[in-house]
Structure 1
């Protein structure tokens, strides 16, 4: 349309003041792309009202017209983040890094050997580096690997919860929501599970990249000790090490 305009420097206000948009064109638009663009231009101009004021910038992502960082953040999130069926779970009793790690377990976006091979990288083996029996997926490394299951069993015995075996994050979450615990107690237990996943992944990385082979026997002790330190410093009411070992005493925190 600009190519057909004879007055290249005409203002928008003057153009709208004409009875017909075609009056300053050197010829009428022809069929095809020109006609289609002209129809689109007419639709865009319908209902346009100009006010007697200076031009100004207006931010279209906010109704008030003012720029906000939140509006850009929401736009980027809507177009780049994956769609999930449930809200992100966040446990305040454990650090941010542990929560983010649990979020990655849920979405299966950790660089397990299976995920790395799916991305086209050539690796020597996709077997679990801990048991070397099954493919290392997120479900395996955190839920079905014999080492993970044994430590999870110890955690359940420590918390005096009936031993159950789960095979994936979804199964774990469904089971977690079904167990009967005080709400505060359950939140702390979920945080302990997050810490468990954190140390399993840490043990896995040390087994692959470390100079010395880490001890499997220390994983459970690290989970108990570190979860106590983190939870005790983040809960509104502090509790003793003895109470932490006897979890039925911390249900009213």
Structure 2
């Protein structure tokens, strides 16, 4: 396996032929990656030497080669905070998109050139944006204030990123209350987004307190399912579902 890779690398690095129009897209991508690799390593020989180190149990590893080639960026603390196994995958995915402001809210669609009336589906008054949808909308404020009150917190004028960082740094990371907060905030983000989609695409509506009850039940189930048995009594007393 390695001898074939080495031969192919020597031929490719030695000739260094360029991608031409009549080459297939796959070959052009391979040649482009090769040029980036040589530039990253500094020379053809160094590129070959590094490539030959990308092995696992004597076999070439594409994953290791990719990790060597791709740029490295520091992970922001707020993203580390939500990488908790307690948080459901679908909740985590929605929360990450919300943090990056990549959810397809109406204002984002308008920026992409899509002509659509910008009105929030929850309050039916203001323009829809990520901040409005999750924090300043009266419907979302009712859900969020109920959630924070349930957790024993009295916070106002909060933002999603700062809220996660504040609680992540103020509590022990492995304490169940820290997991309670992050699970609750992720579930709130997910349920608000799903309520928005239900109203927009299916014409279904739920009251804010009904949505909050669903969030409580979801968080209660997650904590009891994933916590240790010694913590169950304290969790049940604190959650008060």
Alignment partner for residue 63 of structure 1, among 53, 56, 59? 53
Aligned equivalent of 2:120: 128
Runs of 4+ with >3 A deviation: 58-62, 75-79, 82-88, 177-183, 242-245
1:140-196 deviations in Å (ceiling 9; x for gaps):
1112211111111111221222x2123422332343246557833112211111011
Is 1:222 matched with 2:223? no
Tell me, in whole angstroms, the C-alpha distance in 2 between the residues paired with 1:44 and 1:227.
54
Aligned equivalent of 1:169: 160
Alignment partner for residue 97 of structure 1, among 77, 90, 93? 90
User: 2:87–2:182: 8 Å Cα contact kept in structure 1?
Assistant: no
User: 2:220–2:239: 8 Å Cα contact kept in structure 1?
Assistant: no
Q: CA RMSD in A?
A: 3.3
Tell me, in whole angstroms, the C-alpha distance in 2 between the residues paired with 1:83 and 1:224.
34
Aligned equivalent of 1:115: 108
Equivalenced residue count is: 191
Report how far residue 113 of structure 1 moved.
Answer: 0.7
CA distance 1:178–1:146, change in 2 (3 Å): farther
Aligned equivalent of 1:20: none
Gaps of 5+ in 2: 1-10, 12-41
Of Structure 1 and Structure 2, the greater helix share is in: 2
Alignment partner for residue 213 of structure 1, among 199, 205, 210? 205
Tell me, in whole angstroms, the C-alpha distance in 1 between the residues paired with 2:74 and 2:114.
26
CA distance 1:176–1:243, change in 2 (3 Å): closer
Aligned equivalent of 2:130: 138
User: 2:195–2:206: 8 Å Cα contact kept in structure 1?
Assistant: yes
Aligned equivalent of 1:151: 143
Normalized against structure 1, the TM-score is what? 0.63
